[in-house]
Amino acid sequence: MTRLPLRLPCWLSAVALLILLVVAPAAAQPPAPFRITHSIDKGAQAQVTVTGRVFNDARADAIDVYVTAEALDGGGKILASGVSYIGTVTAGGSTGFVIKVPSARAAANFRVLVTSFRFGYANQS
């Protein structure tokens, strides 16, 4: 007895592709609503000072915001890092920060990112 190969309807593969295209982007993490500008001052000391601003493009205040600066080698490996608590960044606003990164003078590059925050309402005084 000869078995015929199982043939799936053509529309089934089209439906599977459509599901993949719709579900995969939805499962991806939405981008954080922050923009960061920064400058690096290597100075004469072993530590590096990273100064910048965090801009909140969301419609809600970001509270309990922490910013991390990472010193990277040529291959992207983290050599050193520093963290700064900047508090609240109001909706549509910005807040400045200063981060000291120890032993980072030999770094090829720096990466600065918001590493922790939550949305809420800042106390208005």
Residue 18 has pLDDT above 60, yes or no: no
What's the topology of domain 34-120?
Immunoglobulin-like (2.60.40)
Domain positions in the chain: 34-120
Closest CA to 65 of 38, 39, 34: 34
Report the distance separating Cα 70 and Cα 114, nearest Å: 11
- β-partners of residue 85 are 66
Residue 29 has pLDDT above 70, yes or no: no
pTM: 0.71
Report which residue type is found at 113.
L
Q: What integer is the mean pLDDT of 38-54?
A: 91
User: Over the stretch 59-86, which tens digit does the pLDDT of each residue have?
Assistant: 999 999 999 999 999 999 999 999 999 9
